[in-house]
Amino acid sequence: MSELEFDHVTVRFGHGRSLQTAVDDASLVVRSGTTLGLVGESGSGKSTIARVAVGLERADAGSVRLDGVDLTARSREARLARRLVQMVFQDPLAALDPRMPVGASVAEGLLASGRSPNRADREARVRELLELVHVDPARAGDRPARFSGGQRQRLTIARALAAEPAVLVADEITSALDVSVQGVVLNLLRELQAELRLTMLFISHNLAVVRYVSDEVSVMRQGRIVEHGPTDAVLEDPADPYTRELLRSIPVMGRPLDLEDL
């Protein structure tokens, strides 16, 4: 089991008159082994709440728990639980060190698993991880510049998986990619989720993409969760006027998803 729960999370930035509430009393549950799609317009707080889950942002109120363990606590239990939540970001080029062979970047992820394998085991595990994301292990010595955008994003996924996460937080991970390779990365995610039984928080402003990977969808507006439910119910018959507005602005939603549309 690996259920991720955001419980009345509030995050504010700034001080005094510039104080801004980026996440406003938001509660969400990502059920074990499922994908929750988080949608909303730019600036609605999606990235901020995701960053709280991996400790990159601090909540001013509320908590984030993994199977009941408060991830913000100082206990050993919390430290171990934090390792189980890994994040993948929008820009793979920024996430990979350009001077480092990609195999070494993936191996960095192994450190987060809490194990310290010897060199041979480390290399074997990196090969396995590259195979898992369909990158030729013989290319472990190449630098990121030698790979395409889609391959680089698969490499950052491999690095996240090296930490043996139970939960993957994916923040706009296909937004910077060519349309032609977005489907490849999404299919990989679905495949990995089934194989590794990952729990996934998947953030995107692209509703077609969200529909393709998500079991449930939450809609965020001005820091608040305004709608939540099974993907088809939310996207086909939204209860909230804001969700209806959001859907209207994305014409592709009227048709069944074709990966060519992504």
Ligand X SMILES: Nc1ncnc2c1ncn2[C@@H]1O[C@H](COP(=O)(O)OP(=O)(O)OP(=O)(O)O)[C@@H](O)[C@H]1O
Q: Is residue 43 at the binding interface for ligand X, with CB under 6 A as the rule?
A: yes
Q: Is residue 55 at the binding interface for ligand X, with CB under 6 A as the rule?
A: no
Q: DSSP string covering 11-75, please?
A: EEES-GGG-EEEEEEEEEEE-TT-EEEEE--TTSSHHHHHHHHTTSS--SEEEEEETTEETTS-S
- Per CB under 6 A, which region of 43-51, 99-107, 182-190, 252-260 contacts ligand X? 43-51
Q: In the chain, which ranges are E strands?
A: 4-13, 20-30, 35-39, 61-66, 69-70, 85-88, 167-171, 199-203, 216-221, 224-230
Q: Is residue 105 at the binding interface for ligand X, with CB under 6 A as the rule?
A: no
Compute the least distance from the CB of residue 57 to ligand X, in Å: 7
Could you tell me the maximum CA-CA distance found in the chain, to the nearest angstrom? Answer: 57
Per CB under 6 A, the list member of 6, 9, 39, 47 interacting with ligand X is: 47
Q: Is residue 4 at the binding interface for ligand X, with CB under 6 A as the rule?
A: no
Q: Is residue 42 at the binding interface for ligand X, with CB under 6 A as the rule?
A: yes
Q: Which CB sits closer to ligand X, 52 or 106?
A: 52
Q: Is residue 13 at the binding interface for ligand X, with CB under 6 A as the rule?
A: yes
Please name the amino acid found at residue 71. L
Q: Which CB sits closer to ligand X, 33 or 43?
A: 43
Q: Is residue 82 at the binding interface for ligand X, with CB under 6 A as the rule?
A: no
Q: Give the integer Cα–Cα distance in Å for 149 and 253.
A: 26
Q: Which CB sits closer to ligand X, 42 or 118?
A: 42
Residues 6+ apart with CB under 8 A from 113: 83, 162, 163, 164
Q: Is residue 207 at the binding interface for ligand X, with CB under 6 A as the rule?
A: no
Residues 6+ apart with CB under 8 A from 207: 39, 235, 246, 247, 250, 252, 253
Residue 92 DSSP code: H
Per CB under 6 A, the list member of 4, 22, 160, 208 interacting with ligand X is: 22
Q: Is residue 109 at the binding interface for ligand X, with CB under 6 A as the rule?
A: no
Per CB under 6 A, the list member of 4, 36, 46, 161 interacting with ligand X is: 46
Residue 253 DSSP code: G
Compute the least distance from the CB of residue 9 to ligand X, in Å: 12
Q: Is residue 44 at the binding interface for ligand X, with CB under 6 A as the rule?
A: yes
- Token readout for 151 is 């391959």
Q: Is residue 37 at the binding interface for ligand X, with CB under 6 A as the rule?
A: no
Half-sphere exposure of 176 (CA within 13 A, CB side): 19
Q: Is residue 243 at the binding interface for ligand X, with CB under 6 A as the rule?
A: no
Q: Is residue 9 at the binding interface for ligand X, with CB under 6 A as the rule?
A: no
Per CB under 6 A, the list member of 48, 156, 174, 243 interacting with ligand X is: 48
**Contact positions toward ligand X, by CB under 6 A?**
13, 22, 40, 42-48, 205
